Structure 1
Amino acid sequence: MSITSDYPISKTSIAELQGSSPLGGKEIVIIPNDSDSNLAVSGDYLKASSKLGLTDALAQQLEPLQDKIQKLLDNADVLFTNVNEVLDAQTKQNLKSSIAELNKTLSEFSVASKNINGLIADNKTKLSSTLTNFDKTSSNFAKMSDSLAKANLGQTVKNLEKTLASVDKLMAEMEQGKGTMGKLMKDETMYNNFSKASNELELLLQDLRLNPTRYVNVSLFGKKNKPYVAPINDTIKK
């Protein structure tokens, strides 16, 4: 190349190839090295360099993006192909039938909703009365709860627990043979003696009824009492 400038260019200066404008074009820019006093002469070679212009840099950046877009388009094409295969005539008819059934269901639901609204409107008075009664019942229940709270149920429960504890203690002592009832339950000798005394008392009462003169001597108008005759069964049951 021919340089017509009188500016001193050293041999270590760089000749850089650059883009002249965003729309394209090329130019060579001399980057001088003023610290070098060894100037270049005609026929010398300068160190070369290149710098991408805006268009080249954009093209370089878009190249990998172009590959990604191409892959995305290929995948989209495969996807739509598969969708077309799935949505055959039968599938489309099934979808139409499903949509029609859904519309029918929504229509029936609308009718049912209207019926419910009419039923609520017709029974509004009864519902209001029911809610009023419920409010009264809740109020009465609240009053009853207050009454129960003031009844000192805790002390009553404590007293009941004490009574049950006493009963448990009494039953335990009876089980161990303590006290009169416990001895009657556990002491066989006492039970036999009690049974024997009961039989003797029974014989005594029977003999007193059959032979009162044996125990009471009463004479009316000088009449002699009949001699005492011992009972036949004068034995004690065992």
Structure 2
Amino acid sequence: MKFSKEFIIGAVVIIALALLYWGFNFLKGEDIFSKERVFIAVYKDVGGLEKMNPVLINGLVVGQVRDMYFGAGGDATVVIELIIKNPISIPINSTARIYSSDLLGSKAVEIKLGTPGEYAQPGDTLLSEVEASIKEEVNRQLQPIKSKAEDLMQSIDTVLTMLQRLFGGANTENIAKSVEHIANSFENLESTTSTLDTLISGQKSRMEKILENIESITFNLKNNQDNFNNIIANFSSLSDTLTKARVSETFLSINNAMNEIAAITNRINRGEGSIGMLVNNDSLYIELEKSARELNLLLEDIRQNPKKYVKFSLF
């Protein structure tokens, strides 16, 4: 089959244009033969995101940013188109998050998958989120430090003001006197310390003897520990013996005897009985004394005149 020159030239031009189109898209990172899905995300600020920046899911590059433009609402929101080349299913509540992919500030889009259920279709709008910039993050971290530094500076200023009031004016003389008194106190303390040192040095030998005696006592106590244990055991035995003795009955007998003595004393005081009459009745005492005196006279008369009372007859 023979083709004309015009057909061959037309076919070559068409193939060249197709290759040019494919090559141009290939250089942009787009494969016209792959099955792609496009999703939308809307932001107030994209933070320097550019076309062709990668789109990742769980750290794996699955697409790129195809286009960026302002929305039609006139509120200056930015609409970005995300090309997803991976066939992974994306839940409708997934979030497209712009973040810094390196320390140089390069941006990328990470799709944080939502909960499984309803899945997004090509052309659907995903939730959007922007990671705080390094500057904003640093400012956020430094804000508590800044507040504490301001409070510290205010405290330092207050302290300096108080010191200025303290050391200024008439207080200077008082402070000088206080310093002088403190110096004198330290001198007195040094003198006292020296005196104590001298006293201790003079009594060193005596203190050594005291320590030796204490050591000797401790040694003796240690060596006689068995004896002390026996003494303690004896005291314990004596205590047990006294506890077991019929002490209560003995004290009861003593108490009864004391009660009887008290009763006898009361009877004597009331004049009952011979002893009571003798103690309380004077007439009985007088009669007894009279009888005793007459008896003495009788005995004296018998001694002087025995013949009067005793007669002896031999024949």
When normalised by structure 2's length, the TM-score is 0.44
The unaligned stretches of length 5 or more in structure 2 are 1-24, 54-64, 66-80, 85-119
From 200, 206, 219, the counterpart of 2:307: 219
From 36, 41, 45, the counterpart of 1:14: 41
Aligned-partner SS, 1:105: helix
Aligned-partner SS, 1:219: helix
Distance, in Å, in 1 between the alignment partners of 2:37 and 2:293 is 164
From 97, 122, 132, the counterpart of 2:202: 122
Which residue number corresponds to residue 192 of structure 2? Answer: 112
Which residue number corresponds to residue 260 of structure 2? Answer: 173
C-alpha deviation, 1:118, in angstroms: 1.6
Distance, in Å, in 2 between the alignment partners of 1:163 and 1:215 is 56
C-alpha deviation, 1:110, in angstroms: 1.8
Which residue number corresponds to residue 83 of structure 1? Answer: 163
Distance 1:63 1:185, change over 3 A: closer
- State whether residues 14 and 47 of structure 1, in contact with CA within 8 Å, keep that contact through their aligned partners in structure 2: yes
Distance, in Å, in 2 between the alignment partners of 1:136 and 1:219 is 92
RMSD, aligned CA: 5.2
- State whether residues 40 and 123 of structure 2, in contact with CA within 8 Å, keep that contact through their aligned partners in structure 1: no
* More strand per residue: 2
Paired AA for residue 207 in structure 1:
E
1:32 is the counterpart of 2:32: no
- State whether residues 13 and 32 of structure 1, in contact with CA within 8 Å, keep that contact through their aligned partners in structure 2: yes
Deviates more, 1:53-62 or 1:187-196: 187-196
Within a 5 Å distance, the mapping from 1:35-54 to structure 2 comes to 36-38=121-123, 50-54=130-134
Aligned-partner SS, 1:14: strand
Distance 1:84 1:201, change over 3 A: same
Distance 1:115 1:13, change over 3 A: same
Which residue number corresponds to residue 268 of structure 2? Answer: 184
Deviates more, 1:65-74 or 1:211-220: 211-220
Paired AA for residue 105 in structure 1:
S
Distance 1:96 1:61, change over 3 A: same
Aligned-partner SS, 1:175: helix
Within a 5 Å distance, the mapping from 1:138-157 to structure 2 comes to none
Distance 1:182 1:167, change over 3 A: farther
C-alpha deviation, 1:47, in angstroms: 9.4
1:98 is the counterpart of 2:125: no
Percent identity between matched residues is 15
Deviates more, 1:101-110 or 1:187-196: 187-196
Aligned-partner SS, 2:132: coil
Distance, in Å, in 2 between the alignment partners of 1:183 and 1:174 is 10
C-alpha deviation, 1:134, in angstroms: 7.9
Aligned-partner SS, 1:32: strand
Distance, in Å, in 1 between the alignment partners of 2:300 and 2:181 is 114
Distance, in Å, in 2 between the alignment partners of 1:104 and 1:175 is 78
C-alpha deviation, 1:207, in angstroms: 1.5
Paired AA for residue 178 in structure 2:
S
Which residue number corresponds to residue 43 of structure 1? Answer: none
C-alpha deviation, 1:165, in angstroms: 5.9
* More helix per residue: 1
Aligned-partner SS, 1:27: coil
- State whether residues 208 and 215 of structure 1, in contact with CA within 8 Å, keep that contact through their aligned partners in structure 2: no
Q: How many residues align?
A: 200
Paired AA for residue 82 in structure 1:
M
- State whether residues 174 and 183 of structure 1, in contact with CA within 8 Å, keep that contact through their aligned partners in structure 2: no
Distance, in Å, in 2 between the alignment partners of 1:85 and 1:136 is 64
- State whether residues 46 and 130 of structure 2, in contact with CA within 8 Å, keep that contact through their aligned partners in structure 1: yes
1:125-177 deviation line (CA, Å, top 9, x unaligned) = 444556677889998xx99xx6xx77x98679x89998876554333112233
When normalised by structure 1's length, the TM-score is 0.54
Distance, in Å, in 1 between the alignment partners of 2:130 and 2:208 is 91
C-alpha deviation, 1:62, in angstroms: 3.9
Aligned-partner SS, 2:49: strand
Distance 1:159 1:128, change over 3 A: farther
